[in-house]
Amino acid sequence: MATTTVKALAEELKRSSADLLVQLKAAGIEKESESDKITDKDKTALLGYLQKAHGSADAGARKKITLTKRETSEIRQADSAGRTRTVQVEVRKSGFWSSAMSLQNQKKLPRKKRSRRLLRKSQSCRMRN
């Protein structure tokens, strides 16, 4: 079983040792100083407490993940009178992944794309001749 100290875990999490000790006490894990050892069981208990506290305790039960990236920019445009107006533009890029998709299905996707490209190339060559 891997054990680390409170100080090492705080550095790994990029938090202060005092904040981590407060969170550990709130989770019911009795640690008094930075030099106390933390086991994997303690880490799991802390993670469970934090997930319940932040409302994402069922994060492991999710079956799909949707990522949305937003880019906001401003465009300045002059009208016919010569005045400039600022227009805010938001571009959204999103992706969807499902855990139901098996590794075999993921491996087959690029082959289908490659075969479609080859089919298009062969058809375009036939049309030229």
Per-residue pLDDT tens digits for 75-111: 888 888 888 888 888 887 766 555 555 445 555 555 5
> What is the pLDDT averaged over residues 10-30?
90
How distant, in Å, are the alpha carbons of 38, 50, 51, 116 from that of 25?
13, 12, 15, 59
Helices (H) and strands (E) in the chain, counts: 4, 4
19 against 94, higher pLDDT: 19
Integer Cα distance of 47 and 33 in angstroms: 20
Answer yes or no: pTM beyond 0.85.
no
Integer Cα distance of 95 and 63 in angstroms: 14
> What is the pLDDT averaged over residues 22-26?
91
53 against 121, higher pLDDT: 53
* CA 19 to the chain's CA centroid: 24
Q: What percent of the chain has pLDDT over 70?
A: 61
Integer Cα distance of 31 and 22 in angstroms: 9
